[in-house]
Structure 1
Amino acid sequence: MSTTFNQRVFGCAVIKSINSNYNADFTHQPRTLPDGTVYATDKALKYTVRHYLSRRHPEEKLFYFRSLSDQMQPRTLDETYAHYFGELPKGKDEIIRKTVANKLLSCIDVRLFGGTFASKNGKANLSMHGPVQISHGMNRYPDGVIYSEQIMSPFRNSGEKNKDSTMTTLGTQSKLSEGHYVHHFSINPHNLDELVRLSGGQALTEADIQKLKEALSSGATLYDSAAKAGTENELMLWIQLQPGSLLVLPSLVDKVVIKSAADRRLIDLAAITELLQRSAVKDHIERIEIYRDPTTELSNVPAAAELLDLHAFSLWRS
C-alpha cells in the first residue's frame, strides 16, 4: 500500500485557451465577471482532473463523476453508491454513516476533493472537506476577445410551422480568441484526518498525489472536444512545504503575469519568486517543481525550482 501523504502544498495551474471555450456559461458564452474579466469555475479544472483519472487510471473509482445506468440515464447518488458498493447499509445511523464514509474514501476523487453525500433515506448524510481546494481560474491575458460564429445543423427544425420548409437549423457558437486561465490550489491532507479516524477509511496517499500531479499537468490537454479544441495545459507550479509546516501562502492567481513578447506569450513569475524568497517563507519550502510545455517562455523563475516537461507524465500512454 502507498505511503500516506501528510505534507501541505500550494501551487497554480495555468490553462491556455486559443480560439476555444474552456468553461462556458448556460448561454454557451465564455464566463465573464461584471467587469468583463473572463474566468472559469473551479469545477472546470476538477472535471479535467476526474476525466484524466477515468481515462488514464481506470483502476481507480470516481464517485462524483457521471455514469450511465443500463437504461442509458445518469445514475442518481444512491444508484451510484449501489453501483460501486451495493445497497446502503442498515442499522444504527452512526454505523451507517461510518460505513458509507469508509466506502466513499476508497474513491480517489473523494480522497482528493471530498464531497457531499445526501442519501434518499437521510440516514447517511455526510459533508467531507477534501484536502485539495481549487480557486476559480482568472484569465490573466486581457487582450483576448470573445466572438461568435454561426453554425448549421444538418437537420430541419421539427418545430417549424411551415411543413414544406427545407431550411436546416442555424445556431451559434462562442469562443475566446486567447486566454490564459490561472487556478490557485492548496492541499491540506489533514482536512480528512477526523473522517479517516472515525470511519477507518483510506487516507490520501503518495500515489494519489502523483496521479493528481499528472492530471493537473495534462488533464485539460487530454480532454478534447469541439468546443475545447485549443484548450491545453500550459504550466503547473507545485510548492511543497516541509513536513509539519503550518505556513499558509496567499492566492497565486494575481501573481502570475502573462505578457506579449513579439509573436509569443511570456509567463512572468517575478511576484511568486519574490514571495518565496521572503525569510518567513523560504525555510518552510521543501521543494518547488514547475511542469511546463517546452514551448512556454518563462521569466523570473524561482532559483530553487526544478523545471520539468509536463508531457513527461504518461499522457500518451496507450
Structure 2
Amino acid sequence: MDFNNRVFGCAIVKAINSNYNADFSGQPRTLPDGTVYATDKAFKYTVKNFFKAAYPNETIFYFKSLNANMNPISLDETYIKHFGDYPTDKKTIKHTVAGKLLSCLDIRLFGATFAGKNINISIHGPLQINHGVNIWHENNIFSEQITSPFSNKSNDPEAERGMTTIGRQSKLQEGHYLHHFSVNPANLSEIKVLAGEAASGISTNDVVKLKVAMRQGATFYDSAAKAGTDNEILFWVQLNENSKLILPAFTDLVRTLPEKRDGKTIFDFERVNQLLSGYDSEIETMELFINEHSAIAINLPGGCNTYPLFGNNREES
C-alpha cells in the first residue's frame, strides 16, 4: 500500500564520551561558534547500515561494496552488480534505469543523483534530513593519546625506536544531536511517471522499516569511535493525507534543561507544543519514541502517544 502522508519530526542521537561524526582531522565537527554538529550523511549512514543488516532482502544501492581486490567498486559496477548490464535501447534506457533505482529502499526514501555511463538521473527523495545540532548546553571536546603495539621504524634500518607509534583520538564529553526531518511522498511523483507504471513509490511497509531504523540505527552501529553513541528520541508528526500544513524545522524548538533528573536528560517540548496546538485537525497521529533509561520528555503536545525507543512496538509482524 502506498504511503501518501507528509511527516515532520526530529531524531535525537546522544553521544557520551564518543565521536558521532568526525571531520577529516578526527575532531567532532563544530560550527564557527563552537557548537558541535553532525551532517545529515552521518544519520543516513546509520539508517542504511541498519537496513542492510535487518532487511537483507532489500536492495541498498548507495552503500560501499568491495571488489575482489578489497577496493570500492564504482557507481556503474554497483548498478551492474544489482541489476545486470545497462539497457541498450537509448530511447528507453532512462525509463528502465529509473525503475530499477526505485526498486532500492534507500533511493525510494533518500533519493539519488545518479551519474552513470551515458545516463544521468536525479531523484528527489521523499525523506529530507537536516544536519544534527547539539542542543546540550555544553560542547566539551577532549583528546587522548593512544598507542599502537607496532614499532614505527625510521629510515635507517639499523635504528629502532624504543616506543611504539603514538596516535590521538578526540571525543565529545556529552552531546545530544537533534536532526530535523520531513517526509513528502509527492517528491517521487515526476520520476514515477518517467519510470512507468511498474515503478515503486514509498509504501507503508517502507515507512515501518524507516521508523525502526531511525529509532535504533545509531545504537546498532557500535564501532570503536562510536561506542557511546546511541539513539535517544524519535518524534514523528504524521499529517492527514490531504493536509497542506507546512511546519518549520524543530531544531530550535526542542531544548534540554541544564540539570538532569535521576541522571536522565530532560527534553522540553514546550515550543513544539505551542506550534502544534492549533493544528489538531491537520494531524493524523503524533508519536514519541524515547529511551526511558536516559531521557525524559516534558510538555509534550496533547494527543502524543509515547512508546519505548527499542523493540518493534508491534510495528513489524
Normalising by structure 2, we get a TM-score of 0.94
Relative distance call for 1:157 and 1:195 in structure 2 (3 A) is same
Deviations 1:29-52 (A, max 9, x none): 000000001000000000000000
- The residue number in structure 1 matching 2:275 is 275
How many angstroms does 1:255 deviate by? 0.6
CA distance in 2, matches of 1:102, 1:264: 47
Equivalent position of 1:305 in the other structure:
304
Q: Indicate yes or no: 2:173 matched with 1:174.
A: no
- 1:113 equivalent in alignment to 2:104: no
For residues 182 and 113 of structure 1, what CA distance do their matches in structure 2 show?
18
Corresponding residue for 1:242?
240
Deviation at 1:160, TM superposition (A): 5.2
Q: Shift of residue 313 of structure 1?
A: 2.0
Q: CA deviation at 1:68?
A: 1.2
Q: For residue 91 of structure 1, what is the aligned residue in structure 2?
A: 89
- Residues in 2 aligned to 1:21 and 1:160: alpha-carbon distance in whole angstroms: 34
Q: CA offsets, 1:177-223, max 9 Å, x none?
A: 00000000000001001111220211110010000000110000000
How do 1:41-56 and structure 2 match up within 5 A?
Answer: 41-56=39-54
Counterpart CA distance in 2 for 1:18 and 1:128 is 36
Aligned to 1:104: 101
2:302 is aligned with what amino acid? Answer: A
Residues 35 and 133 of structure 2 are in contact (CA less than 8 Å); yes or no, is this contact kept in structure 1?
yes
User: Helix, strand or coil for the counterpart of 1:290?
Assistant: strand
Q: Are the equivalent residues in 2 in contact too, given 1:10–1:185 (CA < 8 A)? A: yes
Letter in 2 for 1:271: R
Aligned to 2:286: 288
Please say if residues 154 and 160 of structure 2, whose CA atoms lie closer than 8 Å, have aligned partners that are also in contact.
no
Deviation string, structure 1 residues 76-116 (Cα, Å, up to 9, x no partner): 00000000001111122x41111110100010000000011
Note the residue ranges of structure 1 that are not aligned, 5 or more in a row.
none
- Once the two structures are superposed, the pairs formed by residues 164-243 of structure 1 within 5 Å of their partners are 164-200=160-196, 201-243=199-241
Letter in 1 for 2:144: E
Post-superposition CA distance 1:200-259 (Å, at most 9, x none):
211110010000000110000000011100000000000000011121110001111011
Aligned residues: 308
Q: How large is the RMSD of aligned CA atoms in angstroms?
A: 1.4
The alpha-carbon deviation at position 282 of structure 1 amounts to 2.4
Corresponding letter in the other structure for 1:182: L
The answer on whether the counterparts of 1:37 and 1:142 sit within 8 Å (CA) in structure 2 is no
Find the counterpart in structure 2 of residue 138 from structure 1.
133
How far apart are the structure 2 equivalents of 1:215 and 1:31?
Answer: 23
Between the aligned partners of 2:254 and 2:2, the Cα distance in structure 1 is 31
Cα distance, 1:134 vs. partner?
0.2
Native 8 Å contact 1:10 1:240 kept in 2 = yes
Alignment partner of 1:153 out of 139, 148, 170: 148
Q: Secondary structure at the match of 1:229?
A: coil
Contact 2:34 2:139 in 1 (8 A): no
Structure 2 Cα separation of the partners of residues 192 and 68 of structure 1: 30
Give, in angstroms, the shift of residue 312 of structure 1.
Answer: 2.3
Contact 2:35-2:139 at 8 Å conserved across structures: no
SS of structure 2 residue aligned to 1:111: helix
Range with greater deviation from structure 2 (22-31 or 286-295): 286-295
Offset of residue 142 of structure 1 = 2.2
TM-score by length of 1: 0.94
